[in-house]
Chain A
Amino acid sequence: MGKPDTILLDHGAGGKASAELVGGLFAKHLGNEVLDQMDDAAVVDLPPGRLAVSTDSFTVDPIFFPGGNIGSLAVHGTVNDVTMRGGRPLFLTVGFVLEEGLPVADLERVVAAMAEAVQEAGVKVIAGDTKVVGRGQADKLFINTTGIGVIPPGLELGAHLARPGDVVLVSGSMGDHGVTIMAAREGLGLEAPLSSDSAALNGLAAGVIVACPGLKTLRDPTRGGLATALNEIAASSGVDMELDEAAVPIDPAVAGVCELLGLDPLYLANEGKLICIVDPDQAQTALEALRAHPLGHSAAIIGRCGGTKPGKVWMNTSAGGRRILDMLSGEPLPRIC
């Protein structure tokens, strides 16, 4: 009998099958000098600075989608969360929950995509775990990642640091990931050229951090989209914001599909974009720093913070009207990450 081509309960039982999976698949793709020690705990050295730690579980359905898969997303999502607080991401831990019956080939595609993402982001997977559950107890596979990064001494970024007058930028078009997943999930058979923007943002962020000492806030607008992220920043900083709808970059294909499905791209998730809030003097510098990076080529200044109505976000619409831009509330959210 050769190796089974689907995941069996045995694979999580800690015996020979587990060892094969770990050695043959995980170590092959994700291995490095720390992980390869296979000891109870990883032991690593850290550069000076404060730690930034973030954990997230990924359950996206479908697990493969245009522009990535659950594996690359699990790396990007956590790397980005560490990055948003100014952390330079260094290490990841990875936990898998596999459903019995998952094709091993699918798992290999996922792990290979993680390996590529890890390499691009310049981080190392230093610890991992795998569990197998019976059919129906999970949906194909779930991944948890924890990211560890170090914040260089003196750097302080946070959602509470925006002040009236500060300028709001985004690094690119909004809603790409969310709309791609929804279209793929529903099997809408749309011909539109949609693709998730899933990407590691540490390189892009590093450019702005270096260029702009007046940087206040970085935020990746994931679930709930731009609208929700800006509301959160406005609330925790005690500022209001005024956005210019026409300035917010939206890919025409995304706009078209949103129109068709009655979705608003400003509420859809992004997995490779960041919001950046800077001192007004440095808005132009920040814009140039973002645009200098391939992931930020369509970056734009989209609005400004004010001090009149703390916590509110207003939008001047393209049509010439004005309205509130509220948080996402209660919309049925499919598993997009």
Chain B
Amino acid sequence: MKHVDEYRDPRITRELGAQIRRTSTKPARFMELCGTHTMALARHGLHAMLPDTVSMVSGPGCPVCVTATEEIDRAVKLARTPGVVVATFGDLVRVPGSHNSLAAERAQGAAVEVVYSPLDAVALAAKRPDEQVVFLGIGFETTAPTVAAALLTADQQGLGNFSVLSAHKLLPPALAALLSGPDLGLSGFLCPGHVTTVIGTACYEPVARDHGLPCVVAGFEPADVLAAILLLVKQVEAGESRVEIAYQRAVKPEGNPAAVALMNRFFEPVDAPWRGLGAIPQSGLALRAEFAHLDASKKFDVSVPPAQDHPGCRCGDVLRGLITPPECKLFNTVCAPSTPVGPCMVSAEGTCAAWHRYRRED
């Protein structure tokens, strides 16, 4: 794990912290777009290293958190369907739908399996030929290519009992929606390393050019995050707004065209619902018509009544950076990781979970 330790080297991180404190004079408020950054900032206590002038706010970048309630309801409906096994990443099973989470359904006998990769779900389908295995495709451009790879494998193996219920989301349309909404008073974006590895930096250019907001792509180790914040601060101080990559060991400006091609082979953009942000045009991914045989929304009846969110849960405002979790009345009273009300408290990358675990005394 040498590559990790290097970016945690306290001499480097402390020096970066000191440089940020020396450089910053103007108030600046940056949004981290990715849940992994939210967690890295909280877990390594990096907020405590920033000067009072610099604040960080979380955005809509936790894939579990932005999954809409109706999408959970659809998964629950599938899990209740006899002969169907729902395979999904662990976090998602505890997210409350309108009435129940997948975990609650499982406790009542529904077939819900936790897998670590979409390929595990394909293997599950091969092992259980008498059942229909449905993988819940959630996540951004980071995960969508791996789900496409699983679809490719299943298709090549001619597995008739594997399909995907796609609730994938695309980052650039959400970013555009965020910027066209109420003014969040932002000074720049800490951009997600993983997603950018796949789609490249082109999508940030309009943000920097038209909105005058610096965008810096960051990795996930403490030194990566601090180095990116330093670049953001320098741009703010100089009155500039450019796209920069502070994560050159992984990210190329053009992204990963092979991964994008694989994703585009199976998926096409559709309008999609986001928790907290509502419907955003062309912001989700659906399977292309020619792959209907791998599309759970075509193979099964997944129609559900209009979703009901918990009235007190303010995940939507948290996801847009409008409030911090302690401003939600339910935070730490009714809503805690053991009894989550909203997805932001469930996900390991959720902002409410990060505050609960690491920042209660802030």
Contacts and interface: CB of A to CB of B under 8 A. Distances in A.
Contacts of B340: 330
Interface in A67-98: none
B337 interface: yes
Contacts of B14: 319-320
A268 to B, nearest CB: 15
B47 interface: yes
A246 interface: yes
B361 interface: yes
B358 A319 contact: no
A326 interface: yes
Interface of A is mostly: loop
A329 B49 contact: no
Given A256-B1, A326-B356, A332-B94, A319 B336 contact: no
A155 B44 CA distance: 39
A330 B339 contact: yes
Interface string B138-178: 00000000000000000000000000000000000000000
B353 to A, nearest CB: 9
A319 B45 contact: yes
A298 to B, nearest CB: 18
Contact of A322 (B10, B48, B223, B357): B48
Interface string B30-58: 00000000000011111111000000000
B1 A259 contact: yes
Contact of A317 (B4, B45, B223, B360): B45
B42 A323 contact: yes
Most B C-beta atoms less than 10 A away, residue of A246, A259, A317, A319: A319
Nearest to B339: A330
A319 B46 contact: yes
Interface residues of A, number: 26
A322 B1 contact: no
B333 interface: no
Interface residues of B, number: 33
A141 B17 CA distance: 53
Interface string A19-60: 000000000000000000000000000000000000000000
B233 to A, nearest CB: 17
A186 interface: yes
Contact of B361 (A255, A312, A330, A332): A312
A267 to B, nearest CB: 9
A329 B336 contact: yes
Nearest to B338: A330
Interface string A220-264: 000000000000000000000000001000001001100100101
A154 interface: no
B13 A320 contact: yes
Contacts of B17: 320-321
Given A329-B338, A332-B94, A323 B1 contact: no
B360 A329 contact: no
Contacts of B116: 186, 188
A263 B359 CA distance: 18
Interface in A296-316: 309, 312, 315-316
Contact of A321 (B46, B337, B357): B46
Contact of B222 (A188, A262, A319): A319
A136 to B, nearest CB: 14
Most B C-beta atoms less than 10 A away, residue of A188, A264, A316, A332: A332
Contacts of B336: 329-330
Given A318-B8, A319-B222, A330-B340, A324 B1 contact: no
Contacts of B44: 317-319, 321, 323
A331 interface: yes
A323 B339 contact: no
A264 B358 CA distance: 12
Nearest to A309: B361
Interface string B3-22: 01000101001100100000
18 contacts: A186-B116, A255-B1, A259-B4, A309-B361, A316-B45, A317-B45, A317-B46, A319-B8, A319-B10, A319-B13, A319-B14, A321-B17, A321-B49, A323-B43, A323-B48, A326-B358, A326-B360, A330-B340
Given A252-B1, A262-B348, A320-B13, 10 more contacts: A318-B222, A319-B10, A319-B226, A321-B49, A323-B42, A323-B43, A323-B45, A326-B358, A330-B336, A330-B338
